[in-house]
Amino acid sequence: MKAEIIAVGTELLLGQIVNTNAQYIAQGCAGIGLNVYYQTVVGDNRERIRQAFTLAAERADVVIVTGGLGPTQDDLTKDALSELLGLPISIHGPSMEKIEAVFRDRGLEMVKSNERQANVLEGSDPLPNDNGLAVGIGLTKDGTHYVLLPGPPKEMKPMFDKQAIPWIRAAMGEDASPLYSKMLKFAGIGESSLEHRLIDLIEVQEDPTIAPYAKEGEVSIRLTTRATSEEEAERKLAATEREIRARVGEYVYADRDVPIEHELVAILTASGKTLALAESCTGGMVSEMVTAVQGSSAAYRGGIVCYTNEAKRELLGVPAELLEGEDAPGAISAQTAVLLAEQALERLGADYALSVTGVAGPGESEGKPVGLVYVGIAVRGKSAQSAKLQLSGNRESVRLKAAKQAFYLLWQQLKA
């Protein structure tokens, strides 16, 4: 079966944002054996949106559209499809109630235009939006299956996985030959060295397929196979997974698509242990990532962002001699990293503590190069240790890699 992905939004045509939605949807389509032949981007223009729909309906069986479901006058996706298919628009009761409730809870008066976000087309299946106000739509007309989703990725992605994929599979019926996937997540190893150690497997891959990819300081491998039963799939995937683990198993922190901090919170919670943090160059990023995990409050006591030397002295008792002066190791040193971790452990009464101090850039600091980062790790009842990293990339990327590396070091500790 053929699919076409349409992204609606003038901000895409002006190059203000990158069309990451298309990639996400394309991966999802591949996952259910749906062949994407075209991706299209069109602006917030009713006539051109309608033309894009017309063309897509000629070229594809499934037309997946993102964007243009918002409250404003240039959100025209539903109007254009209604016009094209001659299906009247009506307001979806439950979605309307949800929108009203949201405004009520916030003590705000609802603007009339917000009603547009509850619009559905006659005969369509509403696709609920758990992270926003605009309801999505699944609709089959004249043999073409249309799926309309909102543009903001944080709304679109969960809706696509939870609502659109099942709706499409049902619409595809028999054509959806079942694909089974398994994700292996790696930490502490780069994409290229991982690929290097698996290259012979990757080159001869057929079934299961082996797809490595890297994003935001993490490296993953997705194993995918087509099978008639879950059991058969597991058997086929397990053999390949064993081979991969035999070579690089030490770097595998999870066999599903979760960030490493998610695993850490789970391990800490399960063992009733707690974590504390002391951050310099990451400036709160490590703490933000830990607390982004639901339920992290059970395992995380808190952290200190000691961005200045004064803060390191006053909040964490790092002696001035260590930080300043001719022969002092300085704030960016193994000694400081160790002390920061020890102090965070004590002052927050935690079982484990991580510290990060380094040079995120753009400029050097203490005459030390951009990308030089020390991670300190303290474990109650043991002597604290540190690791020295030399990371590449811009400020954001150095900070992110430093955070992920710190998590990997803690993960090794917890596994030990």
Cα(374)–Cα(378) distance, rounded to whole angstroms?
13
> Degrees (nearest 5) of the Cα angle 153, 100, 72?
50
Which region, judged by CB under 8 A, interacts with a second copy, from 12-20, 258-266, 333-341, 406-414? 12-20
Q: Which of 54, 90, 229, 297 binds a second copy (CB under 8 A)?
A: 297
Is 23 one of the binding residues for a second copy (CB under 8 A)?
Answer: yes
Site string for a second copy, 65-104 (x = CB under 8 A): -----xxxxx---------------------------x--
Question: Which tokens in the block code for residue 296?
Answer: 């992290």
Stretch that binds a second copy, among 130-138, 139-147, 237-245, 379-387 (CB under 8 A): 130-138
352-381 burial, b if ≥16 CB within 10 A, otherwise e? bbbbbbbbbbeeebeebebbbbbbbbbbee
Give the residue with the Cβ less far from a second copy, 194 or 379: 194
Of 399, 309, 415, nearest in space to 356 by CA: 399
Query: If binding is defined by CB under 8 A, does position 303 make contact with a second copy?
Result: yes
Contact pick of 184, 277, 354, 375 for a second copy (by CB under 8 A): 277
Q: List the one residue out of 9, 115, 126 whose CA is nearest residue 71.
A: 115
> Taking CB under 8 A as the rule, does residue 178 contact a second copy?
no
Q: According to the binding rule CB under 8 A, does residue 150 interact with a second copy?
A: no
Residue 387 makes contact with a second copy by CB under 8 A: no
Residue 408 beta carbon to a second copy: minimum distance, rounded to whole angstroms: 15
Name the burial class of residue 71, with classes exposed (0-12), middle (13-18) and buried (19+) by CB atoms within 10 angstroms of its CB.
Answer: middle
What CA dihedral angle connects 332, 336, 337 and 343, to 10 degrees? -150
Instruction: Pick from 175, 207, 314, 321 the residue near a second copy by CB under 8 A.
Output: 314
Write b or e for each residue in 173-198: b if 16 or more Cβ atoms lie within 10 A of its Cβ, otherwise e.
Answer: eeebeeebbbebbbbbbebeebbeeb
111 counts as binding a second copy under rule CB under 8 A: yes
Contact call for residue 310 and a second copy (CB under 8 A): yes
Total residues contacting a second copy by CB under 8 A comes to 108
Using the rule CB under 8 A, is 324 a contact of a second copy?
no
- Between residues 140 and 269, which has the closer beta carbon with respect to a second copy? 269
